[in-house]
Structure 1
Amino acid sequence: MNMMVSRRALLGGLAFGGAATLLPRSAFAWKADGAALYPATDAFVTGFVERGQLAGTLACIGKGQAAAVSFGAGRQAMDSSKAVGPDTLWRLYSMTKPVTAMAAMLLIEEGRLGLDQPIADVLPAFANMTVQNTPDGSITDVRPAKGPITVRQLLTHTAGLGYNIIQKGPLRDAYNEAGLVGGQVSRLTIPGFPEITPVPSLAAFADRLAKLPLVYEPGTRWSYSVGLDLMGRVIEVAAGQPFDAFLKARLFDPLGMTSTFFQVPASEVGRLSTNYFPMGPVLLPVDPATSSIYLDPPPMPYGGGGLVSSARDYDRFLAMLLGEGETGGVRIMKPETARLAMSNLLTDSVDRKGTFIEGEGFGAGGRVSLADSPTGEGVYGWGGAAGTIGFVDRARGYRVGGYTQYMPAEALPFQAKFGEAFYKDALR
């Protein structure tokens, strides 16, 4: 089962026009106390706990390659006495997508994949796709796709693929029946949500997906999709090793990301937060830490929404991006590869009207700000279905993460307004 990520923009509340011009030219004065350094961000994140809206919240912010500061409030669960901190474990959900995308960029750098290579070269079942004549309409009233699905399109949600959390009608039902979901929520039965048996492997995921029609012609429209989950299968075939093993060998181990998992080890359950459904003034624990579904082996490593990580670990990933492929003396990818990954990979012909990224660009697995964006150019990142958010601002040299656990992300404005709070500090 999966839940919809926020329909708001990544920096949701950043509609304060012209704010980017307020950035001071002087060097940033560093202080040890993150709450003092970022008072607006601190007031924002702690307010949710003080009002009893969330169990715990955390901000993790770094400047350049300097050590990040973490600050927040609350506990890992409402029934826990353990305070949140940089090593608390959070369900990242779609913040997994940039990680998967960077893994694909490594293969592109090495020539084992091409950015505009048809994925049918790697997964032949996708050679002859069909497209619904009416998006979200009949799944038998279809036509042959005019062009192939490419690696670029998987990375940017322009392949025409669907998502069971986005689509409606027969195609959504077909995804559910085939077990084509992008992540897990709970061991519990959740009223109002269908019981779905997820596919047992990435290979099965790809094979079943190839049998269903596309929603749109490849390359024509941005539509949030299972593209990064399918990319996990492309990666493991192109790399010749399991997707999760590739991530560990090429990203997690070199970056020292020792707290990033598809399955949380039993030894680490004491660091895992509880995920909640806000129901009015009440927080319902939908995935309690001690009985979390993330303690079980996942049906497959979900490249679009399967990782659990700490703020400290994800900051290492963001530091690598901000360092254009390098952090702590460890180079993961070439600078030109990192710059390409965080650039706008969409052409002007891609329809973005009415989508999560209207007026913005999209890179490898994450939104990219443009010259006329509220922040100006240089921001890359994405958010997750349980309220988390992570991005780098390359123009100003920041790496930023916001962490909490509640679903859906629209239920409270933590994710949608986190960026606005941060820029009140960064642009003062």
Structure 2
Amino acid sequence: MKAFGITAALATALTAAALHGQARPAPQPAPAAANDTARRALPNTAALFDGLVREGKMPGIVGAFGAGDLPTAFVSAGKLSDDPGAAPAGPDSLWRIYSMTKPITGMAAMMLVEDGKIGLDDPLSKYFPSFAQMRVLTSPETSLDSVPAKTPITIRMLMTHSAGLGYSIIQKGPIAREYERLGLVPAALNPQVENAMRAARPKTLAAFAERVATVPLVYEPGSRWSYSIGLDVLGAVIEKASGMPFDRFLQTRMFDPLGMRSTYWTVPAGEVKRLATNYAFVGDQRSPIDPAATSVFLQPPSFPYGGAGLVSTARDYDRFLHMIQNGGELDAVRVMKSETVALATSNLLPPGLFFTDVNPSSGATAMGRMGYGAGGSVALEDGPNGRVKGTYGWGGAAGTIAWVNPQRRTRGTVMVQFFPAEKWGLRQSVPAALAKDAARLAR
């Protein structure tokens, strides 16, 4: 996604609005008074959301916007599906965040870097020896012919999409078919597609990593940025280096300490009423592709997908971003050192590489000089549409967006649910609306 930036004036805007009530880690309905106050503080943003719902572009949308340690401003419109009687969208509604799982996995790996259990420039073969002798395709879109790789894959390359690994949503031709044949598709769409993929997919995270090692790389490691399953393989490294199942590591080291009580790999049956339906657009017509009542996310995945496996809420993801904004601490609970967060949100790409490969399937928009950190893009300079140097973030395949700027101490999350992610240009329109709100209240 584009590295979003909310101007420093947003802090003034939220202060001037005198928002009341602290963000709570436990699921709570959004009080009408608090929602009204947030709407008065951010009228352009609220109007944008209302218009998107009124014009039938989506059933519902939620935004969570914060500056410093002021209470988070939650702005919402619409409901969780087109079904009659569907619940209103709100801070504690559940959304498939898909690739917004990647920054969470990246930060988890950085916790182990801090612990001394992982080195950024460790070879991947240190953890999975089968990656020691990789091969590289000679013509990625036409053949599976390959030659020996010249450079070993490192942990740094895994978390920055520069390892040479492919992605079924990006690659074409024989390598794409090979990924599908081997079940190297670590994501869930709906029960129908999942039934077919589950039969081919490895049953454990470690087995997934071992199978990835049998497939030729798309590019020479360290030679370019290319969206990939690198963060899924990184989940296997986290599991091995920590001695703890990947999902348990995240629960123990991140979700529980940060009070992220509604972030799930599998949505409990009792919480289905909070889950949004996912839609797919053909032209301007949308159809449900994964209805909440029968969602694939109500059943356990083959293994926890570090690149696209989580369901979360605007409130929970805001807490994750707030921790990053605060340099690793939230509500007097520290989960990472400030130095670790600073490193994770800096440009970690190998020397000479930049994030420039914009593909709609990645939900990415790059403008100007961009780097890549631990599972998310990093703005290396100020730019158009409110982009601010130092902003770290990423988006999800179903339209979700997240960004944080630790230097400006601002952050934002937008939750929607439809394919394709950039159908309505939210990555451009939301920052523009926020900038107008900040300028208005800063006068």
TM-score by length of 2: 0.88
Q: How does 1:352-391 map to 2 (within 5 A)?
A: 352-355=355-358, 356=364, 357=366, 359-374=369-384, 375-391=387-403
Residue from 217, 228, 231 that aligns with 2:234: 231
Mark the CA change 1:424 to 1:218 in structure 2 (over 3 Å): closer, same or farther: farther
Q: Deviations over 1:159-181 (max 9, x none)?
A: 11000000000100000011111
Q: Deviations over 1:319-365 (max 9, x none)?
A: 10000000100000000000000111124512544434463111100
Q: CA RMSD in A?
A: 2.2
SS at match of 2:191: coil
Does structure 2 conserve the Cα–Cα contact (< 8 Å) formed by 1:220 and 1:351?
no
Q: Deviations over 1:13-52 (max 9, x none)?
A: x8xxxx96x9599684233311121222212222110101
Is 1:164 the equivalent of 2:161? no
Question: How high is the sequence identity, in percent, across the aligned residues?
Answer: 47
- Indicate the residue corresponding to 1:288 in structure 2: 291
Q: Which amino acid letter does the alignment assign opposite residue 144 of structure 1?
A: P
Q: Which amino acid letter does the alignment assign opposite residue 240 of structure 2?
A: V
Displacement of 1:314 after TM fit? 0.7
SS at match of 1:373: coil
- Indicate the residue corresponding to 1:81 in structure 2: 86
SS at match of 1:43: helix
Does structure 1 conserve the Cα–Cα contact (< 8 Å) formed by 2:278 and 2:290?
yes
Unpaired runs of 5+ residues, structure 2, are 20-36, 359-363
CA distance in 2, matches of 1:124, 1:261: 31
- Indicate the residue corresponding to 2:272 in structure 1: 269
- Indicate the residue corresponding to 1:421 in structure 2: 433
Aligned residues: 411
CA distance in 2, matches of 1:262, 1:343: 28
Does structure 2 conserve the Cα–Cα contact (< 8 Å) formed by 1:77 and 1:273?
yes
Displacement of 1:372 after TM fit? 4.1
Displacement of 1:378 after TM fit? 1.9
CA distance in 2, matches of 1:332, 1:364: 16
Bigger mean CA offset, 79-88 vs 367-376 = 367-376
Residue from 120, 123, 126 that aligns with 1:115: 120
- Indicate the residue corresponding to 1:346 in structure 2: 349
Residue from 149, 152, 160 that aligns with 1:145: 149
Displacement of 1:198 after TM fit? 2.8
Does structure 1 conserve the Cα–Cα contact (< 8 Å) formed by 2:49 and 2:61?
yes
- Indicate the residue corresponding to 1:39 in structure 2: 43
CA distance in 2, matches of 1:271, 1:131: 45
CA distance in 1, matches of 2:10, 2:237: 44
Q: How does 1:13-412 map to 2 (within 5 A)?
A: 23=9, 28-32=15-19, 33-79=37-83, 80-139=85-144, 141-188=145-192, 197-350=200-353, 352-355=355-358, 356=364, 357=366, 359-374=369-384, 375-412=387-424
Mark the CA change 1:201 to 1:415 in structure 2 (over 3 Å): closer, same or farther: farther
SS at match of 2:317: helix
SS at match of 1:409: coil
Q: Deviations over 1:139-158 (max 9, x none)?
A: 1x211111111111111101
Q: Deviations over 1:89-110 (max 9, x none)?
A: 0000000000000000000001
CA distance in 2, matches of 1:345, 1:426: 31
- Indicate the residue corresponding to 1:3 in structure 2: none
Displacement of 1:196 after TM fit? 7.4
Unpaired runs of 5+ residues, structure 1, are 1-7
CA distance in 2, matches of 1:290, 1:282: 21
CA distance in 2, matches of 1:230, 1:25: 38
CA distance in 2, matches of 1:416, 1:169: 32
Q: Which amino acid letter does the alignment assign opposite residue 174 of structure 2?
A: P
Does structure 2 conserve the Cα–Cα contact (< 8 Å) formed by 1:360 and 1:373?
no
CA distance in 1, matches of 2:187, 2:11: 43
Q: Deviations over 1:358-377 (max 9, x none)?
A: 63111100011112433231
Q: Which amino acid letter does the alignment assign opposite residue 407 of structure 2?
A: A
Displacement of 1:81 after TM fit? 3.1
CA distance in 2, matches of 1:215, 1:331: 39
Mark the CA change 1:328 to 1:285 in structure 2 (over 3 Å): closer, same or farther: same
Q: Which amino acid letter does the alignment assign opposite residue 402 of structure 2?
A: G
Does structure 1 conserve the Cα–Cα contact (< 8 Å) formed by 2:132 and 2:152?
yes
Does structure 1 conserve the Cα–Cα contact (< 8 Å) formed by 2:354 and 2:370?
no
Mark the CA change 1:304 to 1:340 in structure 2 (over 3 Å): closer, same or farther: same
TM-score by length of 1: 0.91
Does structure 1 conserve the Cα–Cα contact (< 8 Å) formed by 2:198 and 2:302?
no
